């Protein structure tokens, strides 16, 4: 017997036929003797419709009212799934955020979860009742409904799993797991049986869009074993695959990964642009002047590279911004030329960041060197490099994206 | 300065254009210096859509889940109206039933209001903030959403007006008030400036469908002055008509009605059927056997007539039931023939109950006699008669409906 949280997104609950399919997944787990809480999104299209009504009402709408309107979508799905489950003979009830309560901060429209009281849910789960929880919503300190912002239902599910001390949080999605890289680019990409939280965090933030970064962060902080699987699976098919789990990817603590690979995956982020500032003074406060100015203009900076000054007086700073902010970033830097003090700024639009990710590289030497050598052999020029403990990122011309990803995928023995 | 509750139904908030029109009505009252709470229904069509989804999920759905699903319609409207009001520069916020809280009993799907804590609303109203309240919903003792059943939003509005001690509850509807009778039948029907609670209760329960019976009962019990007016009025037109009010009908205590008429209106109820039980024993327990059996079968009985027994041994009982229950009522009575003990049962389908209503008849003699005489002069046969302090009802063949109503309307000087 295990305690499970299952999360289903909008396309999985788009109509009553699909909601019945979701109910069959739930019933299978209940029949297997598990305690089950389900987190549901709004029926696909509903949230957009409700957001559209708010915009039509006023372009500058009160976020608290927006939350009251938009959260109704998940409220409807939670009630309908509870009805369908009961109809199948599964005891179930719906829970709105304020009923649990799932408490958030006051940032209506993009709230963060501050506290979940799991006691009432646990009491019901232990009696065999399925809890159907409206995702994406909680209650703010003003006792009003708050929505959680992008990826909110994933975050609801993981946070709920932590609060009720679930053994696993199953994220049902339209892909069947996390791959070593994008299968559309590398046909030999393999589904990972397991991936460590830290690795998934790098994969998620670099563009593998299976799970929102916030929900992975939360899973890591609370140690919630999170299992990504396909909602299109036949609910009645045999469940056990390798490792005692059906097809999918388990995101877990690295201790749970027995056969640790050195490199787990190759990620890449398109739509980046590079900016380099030449000959800035190598003294305290310069980096702050550059990135403070960009932050004030609400421009997100990703990769930052600054080398040791060769002469001790001036240096170059290179960084990337979203391609859509490139012109604006240039304008900000020109404005602040006197404050920052530099000789020239230059940049490039068509760049891509390719990253090699793996917890194993902490204990293996030479991983970075192989990356640089492999790219050099294919004649791919590296514009900039940054590394962390478990990641090597290189900035290259975007024309070489596929070649670089395929080369690195083979190089680190990831091909299936 | 007055404290007002304004209630708008589904057609008044069917889309954002109409919601803006509602907001102009609200703004007009705010600009006049009034404190305003608004009660809104779901956008027309939404409730039916949500009810349809519940039925599609299961024909035997849990009423608590039904309430979670269906109440979302009012939640959406309340948020949208608050946004539109803010956009017009009117300070406003939405309130869900559980936020007020508006407490109900445990009868999910058809709950009754048990208590409304008006203190938080009053505090905001006194600061000049408009309260936009989701109608038709409250929170049950299990801390789950409960809907109020038919006419729920009217009842919400009147109950709320009582709780916040409002000076008046304005019901905006698709008619401009309460008429002396149905204008589709009597072209000379007049709009009443005022009508007493008791009279309105009789009018409402007899088929004048302006306000649901429950909301009128509640208005009477709590002394809530309730004003029926048209939502199609130009919100920017001058407001004051006769009696200091715009066109409409004020439902109020009889003391407020200066020029009391003897008869206020003529109501009629179609779709009734008559059943007579011949020669039942005139002894205790017989009426109970008849009406207990019908109640057990969930058949609503309306008019009941039993005369003094001529011989002290047997008597006849006549009553009406909804036409749709006629066959079932007959079957029940045949089943219970031994229990009840009667010689024969007979009945008629095509009957109508016509009622003359007026508080003034309490202090005027001869009102009933004029009614019977007037109908006799037109050759209309009276099948049965019942009277109360403020009402005379006659059962006649339905073919004479229009003739009877027009005759009585003229007879009591109601023609405009």
Tokens, residue B414: 């109601």
Q: Which residue has the higher pLDDT, A120 or B272?
A: A120
* ipTM here: 0.82
Q: What is the token pair recorded at A317?
A: 């700073």
Arithmetic mean of pLDDT, B168-196? 92
Tally the domains of chain A.
2
Answer for the pair A82, A23: CB distance below 8 angstroms, yes or no. Answer: no
B270 shares a domain with B395: yes
How confident is the model over A140-169, as a mean pLDDT?
A: 92
Span B126-141, mean pLDDT? Answer: 97
Annotated binding site of B for ATP: 7-10, 173-174, 179, 184, 209-210
Q: Confidence band (pLDDT; 50, 70, 90) for A206?
A: low
Q: Does A348 touch chain B (CB under 8 A)?
A: no
Rg (alpha carbons) of chain A, rounded to whole number: 24
How would you list the strands of the sheet with B113-116, edge to edge? B113-116, B102-104, B137-139, B145-147
What gap in Å lies between CA A231 and CA A20, rounded to an integer?
A: 12
Q: Which structural domain range is residue A298 located in? A: 265-411
Residues B51 and B133 in one domain: yes
Pairing of strands B194-196, B249-252: parallel
Percentage, residues of chain B above pLDDT 70: 97
| pLDDT single digits (tens) A22-54 | 999 999 999 999 999 999 999 999 999 999 999
pLDDT band at B156 (very low <50, low <70, confident <90, very high): very high
Do you find a cis peptide bond into A101, omega within 30 degrees of 0? Answer: yes
**What does the pLDDT read at residue A286?**
85
Check residue A300 and report its DSSP letter: P
Contact A132, A27 (CB under 8 A): no
Percentage of chain A lying above the pLDDT 90 cut:
72
Closest Cβ opposite residue A58 in set B61, B68, B83: B83
Residue B149, pLDDT > 90, answer no
The pLDDT of residue A75 is above 80: yes
Q: Residues of B comprising the binding site?
A: 7-10, 47, 74, 173-174, 179, 184, 209-210
- Among the ranges given (B275-289, B345-359, B377-391), the one the predictor scored with the smallest mean pLDDT: B275-289
Residue A18 tokens read as: 């699909």
State the distance between the two ends of chain B, measured CA to CA, in whole angstroms: 34
Q: What is the pLDDT of residues B204-225, one digit of tens each?
A: 766 667 788 889 999 999 999 9
* Nearest-by-Cβ selection for A94 from B56, B60, B65: B65
Together in a domain, A315 and A273 = yes
- Where among B206, B230, B254 does a domain terminate? B254
| Domain stop point among B228, B254, B280 | B254
Stretch A60-66: mean pLDDT, rounded?
Answer: 95
The last residue of one of the domains, among A219, A234, A254, is A254
Contacts 24+ apart (CB under 8 A), A379-388: A380/A404, A380/A407, A383/A274, A383/A318, A383/A348, A383/A351, A384/A274, A384/A303, A384/A305, A384/A318, A385/A305, A386/A303, A386/A304, A386/A305, A388/A202
| Same domain (yes/no): A321, A228 | no
- What would the mean pLDDT of A133-152 be, rounded to a whole number? 92
Residue B404 domain flag: yes
Could you read off the pLDDT of B255-264 as tens digits, one per residue? Answer: 998 777 889 9
pLDDT tens by residue, B301-311: 988 988 877 77
- Show the tokens assigned to B317: 């009982």
Q: Is the peptide bond before B101 cis (omega within 30 degrees of 0)?
A: yes
Residues from chain A contacting residue B84 (CB–CB below 8 Å): 57-58
Q: pLDDT at residue A150 above 80?
A: no
Chain B residues in contact with A66 by the CB 8 A cut-off are 79, 83
Query: Is there a single domain that holds both residue B247 and residue B286?
Result: no
Higher-confidence residue of B144 and A243: namely: B144
pLDDT band for position A315 (cuts 50, 70, 90): confident
pLDDT score of A265 more than 60: yes
The radius of gyration computed from the CA coordinates of chain B, to the nearest angstrom, equals 24
**CA B158 centroid distance within chain:** 12
Confidence (pLDDT) at A169: 97
User: Residues B160, B131: one domain?
Assistant: yes
Is B93 within 8 Å of chain A by CB? yes
For position B18, which CATH number holds? 3.40.1160.10
Q: Are residues A33 and A148 in the same domain?
A: yes
* Binding positions of B for substrate: 47, 74
Average pLDDT over residues A87-97: 98
Number of H helices, E strands in chain A: 13, 18
Choose the closest CB to B94 out of A68, A87, A143.
A68
Where do runs of H (alpha helix) occur along B88-236?
A: 119-126, 152-163, 197-205, 213-222
Look up residue B32 and give its DSSP letter.
Answer: T
> What is the full DSSP assignment across B325-342?
GHHHHHHHHHHTHHHH--
Q: What is the pLDDT of residue B288?
A: 87
Structural domain contains residue B260: no
Widest Cα–Cα separation across chain B: 76
Residue B197 sits in the same domain as residue B278: no
Residues of chain A neighbouring B19 (CB-CB closer than 8 A):
57
Q: Is A40 a domain residue? A: yes
Chain A hits for B69, CB-CB cut-off 8 Å, are 75-76, 79-80, 83
Average pLDDT value for residue range B162-186 = 93
Give DSSP secondary structure letters for A179-239.
Answer: BSS-TTT-TT--B-SEEEHHHHHHHHHTT-TTS-HHHHHHHHHHT--EEEEETTS-TTS--
In whole angstroms, what is the distance from residue B316 CA to residue B323 CA?
21
Q: Report, as an integer, the average pLDDT of A337-348.
A: 91
Per-residue confidence band for B150, with pLDDT thresholds at 50, 70 and 90: low
Contact A82 B99 (CB under 8 A): no
Q: Name the phi and psi angles at B366, rounded to 5.
A: 85, 0
For B111, which DSSP code? Answer: -
**Out of A65, A73, A94, closest to residue B68 by CB:** A94
* Alpha-carbon A409 to chain mean position: 22
Q: How many CB pairs under 8 A join A and B?
A: 117
């Amino acid at each position: 017997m295990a305690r499970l949280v299952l999360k289903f997104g909008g396309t999985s609950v788009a109509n009553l036929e699909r909601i019945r399919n979701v109910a069959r997944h739930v019933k299978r787990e209940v029949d297997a003797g598990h305690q089950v809480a389900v987190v549901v999104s709004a029926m696909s299209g509903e949230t957009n419709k409700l957001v559209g009504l708010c915009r039509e009402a006023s372009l500058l709408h009160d976020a608290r009212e927006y939350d009251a309107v938009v959260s109704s979508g998940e409220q409807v799905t939670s009630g309908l799934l509870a009805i369908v489950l009961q109809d199948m003979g599964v005891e179930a009830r719906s829970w709105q955020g304020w009923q649990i309560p799932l408490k958030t901060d006051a940032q209506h429209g993009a709230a963060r979860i501050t506290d979940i009281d799991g006691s009432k849910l646990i009491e019901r789960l232990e009696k065999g009742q399925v809890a159907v929880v409206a995702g994406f919503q909680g209650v703010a300190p003003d006792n009003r409904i708050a929505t959680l912002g992008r990826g909110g239902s994933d975050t609801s599910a993981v946070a709920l799993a932590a609060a009720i001390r679930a053994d696993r949080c199953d994220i049902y999605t339209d892909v069947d797991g996390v791959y070593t890289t994008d299968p559309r680019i590398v046909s030999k990409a393999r589904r990972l049986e397991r991936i460590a939280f830290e690795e998934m965090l790098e994969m998620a933030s670099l563009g593998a869009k299976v799970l929102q970064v916030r929900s992975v962060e939360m899973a890591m902080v609370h140690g919630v074993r999170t299992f990504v699987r396909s909602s299109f699976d036949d609910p009645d098919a045999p469940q056990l695959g390798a490792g005692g789990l059906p097809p999918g990817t388990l995101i877990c603590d690295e201790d749970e990964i027995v056969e640790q690979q050195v490199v787990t995956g190759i990620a890449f982020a398109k739509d980046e642009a590079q900016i380099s500032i030449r000959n800035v003074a190598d003294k305290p406060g310069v980096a702050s002047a550059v990135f403070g100015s960009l932050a004030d203009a609400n421009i997100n900076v990703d990769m930052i590279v600054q080398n040791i000054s060769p002469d001790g007086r001036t240096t170059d700073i290179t960084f990337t911004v979203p391609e859509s902010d490139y012109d604006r970033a240039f304008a900000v830097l020109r404005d602040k030329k006197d404050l920052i003090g530099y000789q020239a700024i230059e940049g490039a639009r068509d760049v891509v960041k390719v990253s090699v990710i793996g917890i194993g590289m902490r204990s293996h030497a030479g991983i970075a060197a192989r990356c640089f050598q492999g790219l050099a052999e294919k004649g791919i020029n590296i514009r900039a490099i940054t590394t962390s403990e478990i990641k090597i990122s290189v900035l290259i011309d975007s024309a070489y994206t596929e070649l670089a990803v395929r080369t690195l995928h083979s190089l680190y023995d990831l091909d299936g």
